[in-house]
Chain A
């Protein structure tokens, strides 16, 4: 069973110094085991200026099992799948410790953005590019940040507007956006596949 008291404490703690860390965690819906976290792209990296949303699912064993984290914002990074958003980070797998919190885990993910490990890649294509053609990698990463990580900082109404203009009915757009945690790209994907 998830330690709900601890999760509540973590959320309070995290939201207290959100101005300093820039890391936000909030429940996705009523259920506290599904959360959405967001981290700002680290300065001096191609991800600077973007805000990256991460989908967090707490397993039953939390905090004795690591939380499941996945990027919902598309990222061009050797250790993050450009397709699924899966993160390759040891502390989210076998090196998890119950003394880590959602905030510290997100900080680690943020650190991963500024220090890629191309030798232990999650996305082989990106890793290849990083090793062989670093300039192109930086360009692509920056382009993806501009295209996906900044758009998501739009207000919800603007996102709805944008999708409605594409020809989807407004009520469906709103519910889909809500379901994916406000990410317009994911909502578009979902709307198209529906």
Chain B
């Protein structure tokens, strides 16, 4: 066996099949590499079945994945590779960058992309010393037959094949190379991050530093950005949990029940009044505020007032937690308003309807071309002086709106109102930005004034 390792390094580029045969004489004949499917199933068989690992594989012996604990598991986070793993450093799967493996894969032969990189990484990974090991090192490593068996994994699975170079067998490949290149590229041990690594000191992965908030070893020592992100989210979560704990005891003064102990999730929310600090559950306060005048109660003096202190509030903010101080309340209110601003007002209906709350509406008022408002008021103004005013007064925040609108209206060609000379050159000059100007102004008006009527009943 010791000889094979040496052979690998010398000859894999020229004759991968030869190298492969040497490495795996028992499992793979050269025939198996001529049939892609066969190679695919073989490789799958060598990857530990995820379900089996949890004792829950329904396929039993027919499973195409390995049910042998000796085989390594495919522990790569595909979300991370697509650039969007929500768990960050807390992810239980390996965070392996895709470009690394691609580059190394491309350097290997096309037919068997994983061979070169695999064998190469064995040498690189095992020795604790220099990455490009001497022959002596190579011999030492290669003498461990199971290491070769485990790490040699050509695969029919695309994600697997892509990453076999560095992340495919994370325990053994990639470490040496990536550590030598840049420690930040190397993932931290997910077991340690989750709380307990069974391999302890023997673990080939970096063990993260302990997060002072959640107490898990999930802070990557070489990724400051990720550390900061984790600390931030961890702190926010902690704060949220504490607030939730305080909120548990709070009773609604109308139904006399604890708000967070109500039967359905929809009911387990507070309705925060804008002007006072008395707690109610969202359903009770909305019920009260929408109770009609059938009982002879005055809408403005009684129904819109706080049931306890009778202070008038113009809107109710739903929240799953109860605030402890003014700042927290403001935060809740602001995030609620921000959320509403991103939702189109259904009364306004893109300019087809009329919103009873007018300019103080919390929801977004966008006018779509072809709507009644577009036709009746805005089109003639496109050529009026208003456009210029708006254009000049445009603030930087409008830039974003403008981009959104431009995207919306990119196929729109402004129509000329009746009575205006349809001059070809002038209509050419009228670019989309000008056509959008009235909307930007409309938006600015809508968003600036948020006081007034109660539109969130």
Is A64 part of the contact surface with B, judged by Cβ < 8 Å? yes
Among residues of B, the one whose C-beta sits closest to the C-beta of A13 is B256
**Contacting residues, chain A, for B301 (C-beta < 8 A):** 94-95
- Chain A nearest CB: distance from B283 CB in Å? 11
Contact for B307 among A3, A59, A98, CB less than 8 A: A98
B residues contacting the other copy or chain, number (CB 8 A)? 21
Provide the residues of chain A in CB contact with B297, threshold 8 Å: 93-96
Q: Per-residue CB proximity of B278-319 to A under 8 Å, as 1/0?
A: 100000100110010011111001100101101000000000
Separation in Å of the B282 CB from the closest CB of chain A? 14
Assess whether B287 is in contact with A64, with CB atoms less than 8 Å apart: yes
Provided the pairs A9-B256, A10-B256, A64-B287 are in contact, do residues A99 and B298 lie with their beta carbons within 8 angstroms? no
**Is A5 among interface residues, defined by CB-CB distance under 8 A?**
yes
B255 at the A/B interface (Cβ < 8 Å)?
Answer: yes
B253 within 8 A of A: yes
Main SS of chain B's interface residues? loop
Q: Are A97 and B256 in contact (CB under 8 A)?
A: no
A6 to chain B, nearest CB (A): 5
Complex formed: what's the CA distance from A98 to B295 in Å?
Answer: 12
Interface core residue of A10, A94, A98 (most chain B CB under 10 Å)? A98
What 0/1 pattern do residues 81 to 108 of A give for CB contact below 8 A with B?
Answer: 0000000000001111111100000000
Complex Cα–Cα for A97 and B298 (A): 11
Indicate if B257 sits at the interface (CB-CB under 8 A): yes
Which of B253, B257, B284, B295 is the one whose CB lies under 8 Å from A65? B295
* B residues less than 8 Å from A6 (CB atoms): 254-257
A61-B310 Cα distance, complex, nearest whole Å: 20
B317 → chain A closest CB, angstroms:
19
In-complex Cβ contact of B296 among A3, A13, A94 (8 A): A94
In the complex, which of the residues A9, A13, A61 contacts B295, with contact meaning CB atoms closer than 8 Å?
A61
Candidates B255, B287, B296, B308; contact of A97 at CB < 8 Å: B308
Check: A182 CB closer than 8 A to any chain B CB: no
Q: How far is the CA of A161 from the CA of B278 in the complex (A)?
A: 53
Contact B298 A98 (CB under 8 A): no
The size class of the interface chain A forms with chain B is 20 to 34
- Distance from A96 Cβ to chain B, minimum over Cβ atoms (Å): 6
Q: Once bound together, how far apart are the Cα atoms of A10 and B301, in whole Å?
A: 26
Check A99–B296 contact: CB distance below 8 A: no
- Hey, which chain A residues are within 8 Å of B254, CB to CB? 6, 63, 98-99
Residue of A nearest to B305 (CB): A97
Q: Are A98 and B310 in contact (CB under 8 A)?
A: no
Scoring B residues 242 to 265 as 1 if CB is less than 8 Å from chain A, else 0, what string do you get? Answer: 000000000001111100000000
Q: Does A78 contact B (CB under 8 A)?
A: no
Considering the chains assembled together, what is the distance between the CA atoms of A78 and B254 in angstroms?
A: 32
Using known A-B contacts A64-B288, A65-B295, determine if residue A96 contacts B253 with beta carbons closer than 8 Å: no
Contacts of B310 in A (CB 8 A): 97
Chain B: CB-nearest residue to A66: B295
Contact residues of B between 293 and 351, Cβ < 8 Å to A: 294-298, 301-302, 305, 307-308, 310
A65-B291, A93-B296 as given contacts; A98 in contact with B284, CB under 8 Å:
yes
Do A97 and B302 touch across chains, with their CB atoms under 8 A apart? yes
Chain A residue with the shortest CB-CB distance to B254: A98
B284 CB → nearest A CB, Å: 7
CB distance from A24 to the nearest CB of B (A): 19
Contacts of B296 in A (CB 8 A): 93-94
B307 and A99 contacting across the interface, CB-CB below 8 Å: yes
Q: Which residues of A contact B255 (CB under 8 A)?
A: 3, 5-6, 63
Distance in angstroms between the alpha carbons of A74 and B370 in the assembled complex: 70
Whole-angstrom CA separation of A37 from B302 in the bound complex: 25
Report 21 cross-chain contacts, Cβ distance below 8 Å, ordered by A residue.
A3-B255, A5-B255, A5-B257, A6-B254, A6-B255, A6-B257, A9-B256, A59-B295, A61-B294, A65-B294, A66-B295, A93-B297, A94-B296, A94-B297, A94-B302, A97-B302, A97-B310, A98-B307, A99-B253, A99-B278, A99-B308
**Top 5 A-B pairs, shortest CB-CB distance:** A99-B307, A65-B295, A97-B307, A98-B254, A64-B291
Which chain A residues have a beta carbon within 8 Å of chain B's beta carbons? 3, 5-6, 9-10, 13, 59, 61, 63-66, 93-100
Could you list which residues of chain B lie within 8 angstroms of chain A, going by C-beta atoms?
A: 253-257, 278, 284, 287-288, 291, 294-298, 301-302, 305, 307-308, 310
Having A64-B288, A65-B295, one finds 12 other A-B pairs with CB under 8 Å, namely A6-B255, A13-B256, A59-B295, A63-B255, A64-B287, A93-B296, A94-B301, A94-B302, A97-B307, A97-B308, A98-B307, A99-B254
